Amino acid sequence: MKKILAIQQKIIPEMLELLEKRYSILKNIYYNQPVGRRTLSQDLNLGERIIRTEVNFLKHQGLIEINPIGMIVTEDGEYVLEQLKEMIYHISGLSVLEDKIKHILKIKKVIVLPGDSEKDKTVQKEMGRACANYIKNLINDNSIISLTGGTSVAKVIDNFPKINTNNVLVVPARGGIGRDVEIQANTLTANLAKKIGATYRLLHVPDKISSETLESIINEPEIKDILDLLSKSDILLFGIGRADEMSKRRGMPQELIDDLLQKGAVAEAFGYYFNKKGEIIFRTPSIGINFNDVKKIKNIIAIAGGKNKAEAIIATHIDNSEMVLVTDEAAANEIITLMNKK
């Protein structure tokens, strides 16, 4: 297949461009069904005339149905969509990208999904599904799974298949964050546990607390018990954020934000802020997993996508060669660009 695709790309490159466009349209309909043409046009940033032409083609091929409530993907469409994934993977040269990023970051594995999650919402969903399928195969009897909050991690939980597990425990890697309850670590912990038939514990403490309160709470028996469980985790799932965005989202005082950025903070993960060299320059006063424990965990999975996350991904230095990164094509290409500049 690789040879055929390579020849086609040289002889009729426009065919592959059209293939990628139709794949993107079909994928968007699948994830947002039922969906109207106007919404699809806005989501993909394509003109309504182009969408109308391509939608009519997909309908004629029996891949979608159009009814009063919107477009939906047929059974044949789902089959074609699944088969196209491998083809798009080879067309985009993602295996080469994965190897390059793996070498650059010196980590165990990199999974790159085609597209840009900043421009196409379905890419983030694909990242979540790929990440969920990878983690599913890591879960053993008596596993302890810890996870942070955030939009990317939420997509993993949303796409996690229902499976049966034996004596598995799920715990939040840190306290809550902000007002978005749906993507807080506690909420995602409970949701994952229900999907895999596991038990769970929750951290009933706010993400942002004073140092004095932190000292008193951390000695509570229940909190100490959860922190002990976190240190024994064999699977950790976390998202990577930009320092400027996460500091604002956590409601930090503007003075502290300015100070962090002045000191060179570019990335945030589980409450730790990193500079471009991967050095920790600040930790939020919150209760959660200790960085020294993170480095010892057997399976560490990070998920982050989008061109603007590339610098943050490079900076989040866990110092664990067993780490796995799930990202998208846009972030992967930007990581290579940034590293070449160095």
How many H-runs (helices) and E-runs (strands) does the chain carry? Answer: 16, 13
State which of 91, 112, 142 marks the end of a domain: 91
* CA proximity to 174, closest of 92, 262, 288: 288
Residue 200 sits in the same domain as residue 283: yes
Residue 188 sits in the same domain as residue 250: yes
Residue 49 sits in the same domain as residue 99: no
State which of 40, 61, 91 marks the end of a domain: 91
Taking CA atoms, 195 is separated from 49, 56, 136, 173, in Å, by 41, 38, 11, 18
Structure tokens at 182: 């749906």
Peptide bond just before 34 cis, omega within 30 deg: yes
- The DSSP secondary structure of 250-285, one letter per residue, reads TT--HHHHHHHHHTTEEEEETTEEEETTS-EEEE-S
Q: What CATH number corresponds to the domain at position 102?
A: 3.40.50.1360
Q: How many residues does the chain have?
A: 342
- 176: helix, strand or coil: coil
Share of the chain above pLDDT 70, in %: 92
Backbone angles phi, psi at 113, to 5 degrees: -100, 140
Predicted TM-score (pTM) of the model is 0.86
Provide the H-helix boundaries in 61-210. Answer: 75-91, 94-105, 121-136, 151-158, 185-196
Residue 100 sits in the same domain as residue 87: no
Distance CA 131, CA 337 (A): 25
Distance CA 315, CA 171 (A): 26
Distance CA 73, CA 76 (A): 8
Residue 341's pLDDT band, with cuts at 50, 70 and 90, is confident
Q: What pLDDT is stored for residue 209 in this prediction?
A: 66
pLDDT in tens, 303-314: 999 999 999 999
Is 237 in contact with 245 (CB distance < 8 Å)? no
Residue 102 sits in the same domain as residue 21: no
Distance CA 139, CA 141 (A): 7
Residue 242 sits in the same domain as residue 98: yes
Q: What pLDDT is stored for residue 338 in this prediction?
A: 93
Average pLDDT over the chain, rounded to an integer: 89
pLDDT(224) > 90: no
293: buried, middle or exposed (CB in 10 Å: 19+, 13-18, 0-12)? middle
* CA proximity to 147, closest of 182, 190, 179: 190
Distance CA 311, CA 241 (A): 10
State which of 75, 91, 107 marks the end of a domain: 91
Residue 73 sits in the same domain as residue 101: no
**Number of structural domains the chain divides into:** 2
Residue 45 sits in the same domain as residue 116: no
Residue 41 sits in the same domain as residue 168: no
Expressed as residue numbers, the domain containing 160 is 94-341
pLDDT in tens, 53-108: 999 999 999 999 999 999 999 999 999 998 888 888 877 788 899 999 999 999 99
Residue 186 sits in the same domain as residue 306: yes
| DSSP code of residue 310 | H
Mode of pairing for the β-strands spanning 241-242 and 265-269 = antiparallel
Residue 314 sits in the same domain as residue 334: yes
Residue 107 sits in the same domain as residue 241: yes
